[in-house]
Amino acid sequence: MGSPVILEKPYGAAMSGDWKSMIDYYHEEHYVYFFSPVSHSLDTVLHLAVHSNKKKPLKDLLEIVKVKESPLTEEDFLKIQNKFGNTVLHEATIYGNYEATSLRKKNNYGETPLFTAAGVGEAEIVEFLIRSKPKHCVDDKNRLLSIHIKRSEDGLSILSAAIIGQHFDTALLLLELDESLHSLKDRNGITALQLLAEMPAAFESGFPI
């Protein structure tokens, strides 16, 4: 298979931070390319808009969709994946774009955006998602929904992912939000706290427990 074709004009505009030019490009006849990848990572223009770390570029692009009366919904557009299986929503967690983040779709590794946020140490996004969209995050017992708890690829728990990345503030936040996470085991029967006990960097002494 050949390399994907990069749409140079919108890609160049995004890379230079000229979001207005990028958006203007799709307002006219170029709308036909709206869902085409614009980078070698198969990012769409929607992924690039999230990288701006601002609300307006993504909002303006979704407004174009409404004007064109597309048969697809806004949610359909936000589920488009790049070559890593990341949707716009996953990318939003990585780039800290709170305004663009939602929750349901999993990437190629079986991670929801909430899981991805925990794994890269974005404690503020984890808290933002849970506080702002509780019905999509926790059940009536205030525990994380099963879709967020484990990565389907290897059974790693969301708490373990935070600990492996040495994002201890995020791990503590997760435990405060759902204390039941401490007992979750991966496919090897290892809990997050067992992982933590073997990590010298987690302790002032520099030695594992």
CATH of the domain at 27: 1.25.40.20
Question: Could you report the per-residue pLDDT of 4-36, keeping only the tens digit for each?
Answer: 556 788 888 888 889 888 888 888 778 878 888
Domain range for 144 is 104-209
Last residue of a domain, one of 48, 83, 102: 102
Which residues make Cβ contacts (< 8 Å) with residue 111, sequence separation at least 6? 90, 119, 151
Same domain flag for 91 and 159: no
Same domain flag for 109 and 151: yes
Is there a contact between 202 and 168 (Cβ–Cβ < 8 Å)?
A: yes
Same domain flag for 109 and 92: no
* pLDDT reading at 207 higher than 60: no
* Residues linked to residue 157 through DSSP beta bridges, in sequence order: 150
- Taking the complete model, does pTM exceed 0.75, yes or no? no
List the one residue out of 65, 6, 68 whose CA is nearest residue 36: 6
Number of H helices, E strands in the chain: 12, 0
